[in-house]
A = this chain, B = another copy of it.
Amino acid sequence: MTIDSLAIRRRDGVLEVLDQTLLPGEERWVAVRDSATMIMLIQRLSVRGAPLIGVAAALALAVEAENNVGKGALRHKAHELRNARPTAVNLMHAMDRMIRVLGQGKAAIVAEAEAIYDEDVNLCRDMAERAAAFLNEGDGVLTHCNTGGLATAGVGTALGAIRAAWESGKKIHVYVDETRPLLQGARLTAWELAKLGIPHTLICDNMAANLMRSGKVNQVIVGADRIALNGDVANKVGTYGLSVLAHHHKVPFTVVAPSTTLDPDCPSGSEIPIEERNGEEVRAGKAPASVNVWNPAFDVAPRELITRIVLEDRVL
């Protein structure tokens, strides 16, 4: 099967991922010949986006199986991959699927990983089309972080919906939150939108409220890293604030995510583990080197501030 997306591919039998930390300045593909390399790439965010890390981890485990690693070692590596990052649940779902087929031999393991890849492509297409229906001609659409082809195996979640709306002929303008501290909006979403030819304007995260009040933005659309049973949504830090601001300005707030993002074991958002990352991401050589930093990578938008959650097969 061909693996060939914006952020992950197989070339001459070698799994490769695009190092997203170098974008947009450099497009460098990195070969992944074992799961330890993939864990490192996931943890340093060279590979990121909730759906993509699930797909990438599954494909990395398949590489190990192809290298004839034994079942016990595969199980151990699967658990290491599963724990690479704590918040996005797609990774756990993908690895649980892989773990279930570990006893069925190399071909079955590879086929399962490829199925996870293939299904994500289809999930993206379906949810993008479903969510695009909520975007209208002339809309100003604010999005946060990166939820496009770099975050999934397919066209993306929220950004996939924007793309589908644009390609269906709706003239929209996208406002891109830069998404501190790692600037996934400024670096990745702006890069994708330029490639797609969709008009867009970059802002700092702290300008979103002003933009909503100005009337330039009448839609907010984001992805999700985990959705609790009660409908609370964990997503890139800043999402919760946007949900409050959208509510205050009466701007619809749409979450687009595949059903692999749902976590039936999580009753509400307060049970979702929130990864805290190194303060150096925030200091970034600008702040005093010794300054104490709080750097949660995610936050939780509560269901009452969310207008709708669009999955591949239904709208909540």
Contacts and interface: CB of A to CB of B under 8 A. Distances in A.
Copies of this chain, whole number = 2
**Chief secondary structure at chain A's binding surface:** mixed
A202 B283 contact: yes
A298 to B, nearest CB: 9
A199 B190 CA distance: 37
Question: Which of A206, A240, A248: most chain B CB closer than 10 A?
Answer: A206
A206 B187 contact: no
Interface residues of A, number: 49
B240 A201 contact: no
B287 A238 contact: no
Interface stretch (A3-11, A147-155, A160-168, A288-296): A288-296
A288 to B, nearest CB: 5
Contacts of A187: 286-287
Interface in A181-203: 181, 183, 186-187, 190-191, 194, 199-203
Interface string A231-247: 00000011011001101
A287 B183 contact: yes
A209 B288 contact: no
Contacts of A208: 241
A15 to B, nearest CB: 28
Contact of A244 (B194, B204, B209): B209
A176 to B, nearest CB: 8
A180 interface: yes
Contacts of A294: 175, 201-203, 207, 211
Contact of A286 (B183, B206, B211, B286): B183
Nearest first, the 3 A-B pairs at minimum CB distance are: A206-B238, A209-B241, A186-B287
12 contacts: A180-B180, A180-B205, A194-B291, A201-B293, A201-B294, A204-B205, A204-B295, A207-B294, A207-B296, A209-B244, A210-B240, A247-B248
